[in-house]
Amino acid sequence: MGEERENQSILITGESGAGKTESTKKVIQYLAAIATDTHAPTPSHSHSQSLSSSSFNAIMPSSGLPRSPSVRRHKPHQSMSVSHTGSHMTSKGRLGLLERQILQANPILEAFGNAQTQRNNNSSRFGKFIRISFAPDGSIAGANIDWYLLEKSRVVVRAEAERSFHVFYQLLEGGGDLKDALLLDGGVENYDYLNKSRREVDGINDREEWIALQNAFEVMGFSAAEQLDLFRIVAAVLHIGNITIAQTRGDDAVLPDPSQVERVCHILGLPVAGFTGAILRPQVLAGREWVTQARTRQQAVEELGALAKTLYEKSFGSLVDRLNRALDRPSSKANFIGVLDIAGFEIFEVNAYEQLLINFTNEKLQQFFNHHMFVLEQEEYAREGIEWDYVNFGLDLQPTIDLIEGSGTTIGVLSLLDEECIMPKATDLTFTNKLHNMWHGELGSGEAPHPGRNKYEPLRFHQGFVVHHYAGKVEYETDGWLEKNKDPLNDNLTRVLASSTDRYVASLFADFIDTPSFASASASSNMFGKKRTLKKGAFRTVAQRHKEQLTSLMAQLYATQPHFVRCIVPNPNKKPGRVDVPLVLDQLRCNGVLEGIRIARLGYPNRLPFVEFRQRYEVLTPGVIPRGYMDGRKACLRMVDALELDKSLYRIGTSKIFFKAGVLAELEERRDALLFDIFSKLQAVARKFSARRHMKKILNRAVAIRTIQKNARMYTELREWPWWQLYTKVCLPT
Ligand SMILES: Nc1ncnc2c1ncn2[C@@H]1O[C@H](COP(=O)(O)OP(=O)(O)OP(=O)(O)O)[C@@H](O)[C@H]1O
């Protein structure tokens, strides 16, 4: 970026637990450490280097992204130092405030967005794209975080061996007086949303994590009131989980313990009657009449679950907005480096709507990868004037993307789902059948088949369909898709929340404030009944929101110079030093690396600018290039002739020389062998020299010893000679 003044992106993908988040942290830590800091007043920073290639080589940062101390203690490979005030040291000294804030945004994001799962004790349950902007002088000029697909359902349920988001446990362990203010009593065991699954994780100390979180808030400049707002939502979610709902004989939901609801209302600033009414007896529109509809126990429980999830997600969104405000600086921004940490391809036994969205995202990212690796690659051949027949590698993923997203007149899975969400009486089954008809049914006469049809199959024994993704066939079961896509919250409830006396809670639901006083007749259409009268942005489906976010992400990525990091999980047991070969191979196949290698072998994957080629390999062709100036291309031609390389193994462009896979490796080996030879000769001469010197020393010593011995002998003989004795007595001083 420093050299070419071009925005860069680093796409880090891989399965859960493969190391994406750790790699992201290393990247950010590195950038924070090497960037020139113009913000910090400390003198050590005035000597920091600017972002140039030399500085990349010159500095190895010794600081690390903050992770909670408890986790850190178990990870000797992390070499960071964090003081209790949250400051960070690099090899150059103290980091500037902005750099520290960029690093400290992480523990906050991890507390609210990470959780322990079976595959990873600190699994990110959301995707993120972190952009770090740089000023023209190479200093960090700000940062921004975009987030994707928070797994909010985890707040309510999860697998028995997993935990909810870390912050719940941290608050209950370390909250102290704050817990009293939030009416929290006791520990994890007292809260229904937490006590049905795992409570503790080896190697994670929630109390220490809480302290790290507090430090991070301090560095980020969160006021006590802002922190209270965030924890209020966390506590409210726990209280919502504890609301008991019973049912009358007539199947109507009732609240046997009003104090539970009062607690929630107190914390969220809501009127108890309004809240209770919205949960138990919301007003719905039946024809033209507004009627009060009693809810069953099950419906009320689901409503509370939906409320907890929405509250948490909205609060997470507002937290990221707040972090972004802290990381934004009005300084001039020249370029950015973006780091994308997003869940990789998922193929489970039962794949649901969430998997479709994740896999769709990955399909798009893979398309981007293919475009970069194969399309742009061939364009470079053309630019360099290399003879090359353009090959269509058959890696166009557009048909699958169209199948899922839809394009132009094509209706994809997601667009059909959106349509079904506004259809009265639509169900998951009607949606699935329409999908089968559209992508697997008979074609009209003269209708050209969409290439995406080859990527689609109905599911045989369940309600669902199969998509042939680039990484493999995935079976999706469509149960509950309509509800998941609508992500509904009854508008009686949203109105109550939007008019909360608490400013923070009201702001989270501000989009709903204009909602007119209506509710639709059925739960399934309650969001769409009067769509036009609603404020924009309030009622977009999950698919719409995700598509918009993804489009914006892809636009940003296409405008950057991308770099790909593929993280591979070595074994499924979180054990060090073990490699499960089939598992690794499977991942390499899924992420397109194997295909990439196959294709790279067909083309000319290695290239070097003429100057570099000459500099590195001239040693193999001594005397071939005459002294003085010679055109780079000509010099390369002479060198490859002298190296006796087969013509099919290389191509010479206008500024670079291209090689088939393996050729450069062989040249490198030849160079190594030659250098080995040269160096062993050099070593031999050096050894001969030092051995001779050593020998000479030994010989000299032998001569010296003999001389000493001779003198000693002479002395002992002389000592007894009377004339000598007389001489010493007369001539030597006493
Ligand atoms: N380079 C590494 N060397 C050793 N261990 C690592 C490395 N990278 C990650 N790990 C270990 O793997 C764990 C999981 O890593 P990480 O959280 O980065 O995975 P992830 O791919 O982001 O997973 P998820 O998608 O679940 O968030 C880490 O907590 C750490 O213990």
pLDDT confidence of residue 66: 39
Domains of the chain: 362-478 (1.20.58.530)
pLDDT confidence of residue 346: 81
**Ligand 1 pocket by C-beta < 6 Å: which residues?**
14, 16-22, 77, 120, 122-124, 343, 567
Closest atom of ligand 1 relative to the 119 alpha carbon:
26
Give the tokens for residue 647.
């013509």
| CA 191 – CA 692 distance, rounded (Å) | 82
By annotation, the residues acting in catalysis are: 16-17, 21, 120, 123-124, 344, 346
Q: Cβ distance 584 to 568 under 8 Å?
A: yes
Q: Which residues contact 668 (CB under 8 A, 6 or more apart)?
A: none
- Measured between alpha carbons, how far is residue 297 from residues 160, 169, 178, 255, 523 in Å? 24, 29, 33, 10, 15
Give the tokens for residue 530.
């009067």
pLDDT confidence of residue 458: 94
Closest atom of ligand 1 relative to the 343 alpha carbon:
25
pLDDT confidence of residue 231: 97
21 C-alpha to ligand 1 centroid (Å): 6
**ipTM surpassing 0.85, yes or no?**
yes
pLDDT confidence of residue 329: 87
CA 77 to chain centre: 19
| Residue ID of nearest Cα to ligand 1 atom 16 | 19
| CA 343 – CA 145 distance, rounded (Å) | 16
pLDDT confidence of residue 46: 35
pLDDT confidence of residue 165: 97
pLDDT confidence of residue 36: 65
pLDDT confidence of residue 630: 85
| Residue ID of nearest Cα to ligand 1 atom 25 | 16
| Residue ID of nearest Cα to ligand 1 atom 1 | 19
| Residue ID of nearest Cα to ligand 1 atom 11 | 19
Give the tokens for residue 450.
């969409």
Q: Is the dihedral of CA 317, 320, 326, 329 positive or negative?
A: negative
3-state secondary structure of 141: strand
166 C-alpha to ligand 1 centroid (Å): 16
| Residue ID of nearest Cα to ligand 1 atom 15 | 19
Q: Which residues contact 507 (CB under 8 A, 6 or more apart)?
A: 318
Cα angle: 157, vertex 163, 164; to 5 degrees: 60
pLDDT confidence of residue 392: 64
pLDDT confidence of residue 434: 95
From 15, 16, 20, 22, the mutation candidate for ligand 1 (largest count of ligand atoms within 8 A of CB) is: 22
In sequence order, the β-bridge partners of residue 143 are 132
pLDDT confidence of residue 203: 85
313 C-alpha to ligand 1 centroid (Å): 24
330 C-alpha to ligand 1 centroid (Å): 34
66 C-alpha to ligand 1 centroid (Å): 14
27 C-alpha to ligand 1 centroid (Å): 14
Give the residue among 134, 165, 127 at the shortest CA–CA distance from 55: 134
From 30, 120, 121, 569, the mutation candidate for ligand 1 (largest count of ligand atoms within 8 A of CB) is: 120
pLDDT confidence of residue 234: 97
In sequence order, the β-bridge partners of residue 262 are none
At 641-664, the pLDDT tens digits run: 999 999 889 999 999 999 998 899
| pTM for the full predicted model | 0.77
Q: Cβ distance 311 to 237 under 8 Å?
A: yes
Residue whose pair of structure tokens reads 């296409």 in the numeric block? 558
Give the residue among 61, 143, 59 at the shortest CA–CA distance from 102: 143
pLDDT confidence of residue 409: 83
**What are the residue ranges in the chain where pLDDT is below 70?**
36-94, 391-395, 513-539, 599, 734
| Residue ID of nearest Cα to ligand 1 atom 29 | 122
Closest atom of ligand 1 relative to the 22 alpha carbon:
18
| CA 450 – CA 401 distance, rounded (Å) | 12
| Residue ID of nearest Cα to ligand 1 atom 4 | 77
343 C-alpha to ligand 1 centroid (Å): 12
pLDDT confidence of residue 526: 41
